[in-house]
Amino acid sequence: MSPRTPRIGAWFIGARGSVATTATVGTLALRAGLAPSDGCVTELPPVAAAGLPALTGIVTGGHEIGEGSLPKRAEELAAGGVFPVALARALCAELAEADARIRPGTAPGGETQRAAARRIQDDLTAFRDRHGLDEVVVVDVSSTEPPAAETPELTSLDRLEEALDRGESPLPASSLYAYAAFRAGCPVVAFTPSPGPALPAVAELARRAGLPWAGSDGKTGETLLKSALAPMFAHRALAVRSWASVNLLGGGDGRTLADPAAAESKLRTKGQGLETILGHPVDGPMHIDYVADLGDWKTAWDHVSFEGFLGTRMSLQFTWNGCDSALAAPLVLDLVRLTARAKQAGRSGPQAPLGFFFKNPAGTEQHDLGEQWRALVDWCAELAAEGTGAPDGSGDGQGHGDGTGAGA
């Protein structure tokens, strides 16, 4: 469609975490022709129709505060059944190369947030320049943070800038990265429930800079099922009386969520969709339990009690046995392509049509998976009609720098 395929970069916050590692393995495997694109929504014809940058052209990089290396992490994930051992071995050299593109993340206390933001911004610009990328999308796949208290400097961009100028560090880490990303002209994908770009001051920056973002909290497992099943009850006029949810998970995500403060963010985003779809509050516990021996796998059990005609009580229960990283990784790549495309098409702010991917969709209250799918497909058709938006070597590509400068 375009004279040349735009080259895009995926910059992961949490670049050696399970999701980023799996996504990185995935881009390399796809490029090497070692794996099909199963799980990638953007390869389905009605989505691909939007005219997206190539899946095989994605270059990965990112920030990471932890130790380790991508080849090592890939080996561990393969041993845990996330992808074949043979794949990790075959891609060892490429993974080492990708690992060299990872920069140290920012940890609290080491530097002021103003300094940290500049450093992050520089890392992003350097990444874009070195690899000749048309767009760089910043994706937060780091550990979940507790909900943020909304202090005045977090609710207005001007006040935030003043606070940063005073050497203060008011931002939660996820929002600091989002701030720096927008300053660097990059779209942002908030794949965790952390505040990130949704923090009012940061969201304001995106708006002023004319940059799109998507979030939050990837909908990969039990909540995905809820959003597919709840409309069935609603449209069949079956009265849901209780809906109990249990999530058993190991891995790093499980460990983080064993901390009640972090779990609170997660439980908030998990809970709201159901009641929105059903139109009334629903009784029933929701548990997230860390069970170390499950590794990167998650087993979720849901029990739904409902009432039909003449008060008859019935029930549905399901057990989902999924690998969160394997479910999340292709969606992350989808979102990189879609937000890059959104930017090229001039969209800014939270992208409601990408709600299909999230537990807590920014910019919309729609949680019904079928409706979300339709909104996504409609949006892709719209983009298709507008033209590919592929960079012509000037304009778009240069544009973001200026755009983000708006509020600086």
Residue 225 is a binding residue for its own copies (CB under 8 A):
yes
Residue 108 touching its own copies (CB under 8 A):
no
Beta strands in 6-153 (DSSP E): 8-13, 59-64, 102-104, 135-140
By the 8 A CB rule, do 30 and 55 touch? yes
Alpha carbons within 13 A on the beta-carbon side of 278:
22
Q: Which is nearer to its own copies, 309 or 408 (CB)?
A: 309
How much of the chain is helix, strand and coil, in % rounded to 5? Answer: 50, 15, 30
With binding defined as CB under 8 A, does residue 260 bind its own copies?
no
Please tell me the distance from the alpha carbon of residue 194 to that of residue 143, in angstroms, as a whole number: 8
With contacts defined by CB under 8 A, how many residues of the chain interact with its own copies? 76
Nearest C-alpha neighbor of 15 from the set 329, 360, 405: 329
Is there binding between residue 39 and its own copies (CB under 8 A)?
Answer: yes
* Rounded Cα–Cα distance for residues 61 and 48 (Å): 24
Which run of H or E residues covers position 331? helix 324-344
381 binds its own copies, rule: CB under 8 A: no
Window 226 to 255, contacts with its own copies (CB under 8 A): 228-229, 231-232, 235-239, 241-242, 244, 246, 248
Q: Which residue has the tokens 């520089």?
A: 122
326 near its own copies (CB under 8 A): yes
Query: Out of 3, 67, 149, 309, which residue is the one contacting its own copies (CB under 8 A)?
Result: 309
Closest separation in Å from C-beta 339 to its own copies: 18
Binding string, 277-306, against its own copies, x = CB under 8 A?
------xxx-x-x-xxxx----x-x-x-x-
Q: What is the helix (H) or strand (E) element at residue 97, kind and residue range?
A: helix 92-99
Name which position in 15, 55, 82, 380 contacts its own copies (CB under 8 A): 82
Residue 272 makes contact with its own copies by CB under 8 A: no
Minimum CB distance to its own copies smaller for 239 or for 406: 239
Q: Does 145 bind its own copies (CB under 8 A)?
A: no
Closer CB to its own copies, 77 or 180, in the complex:
77
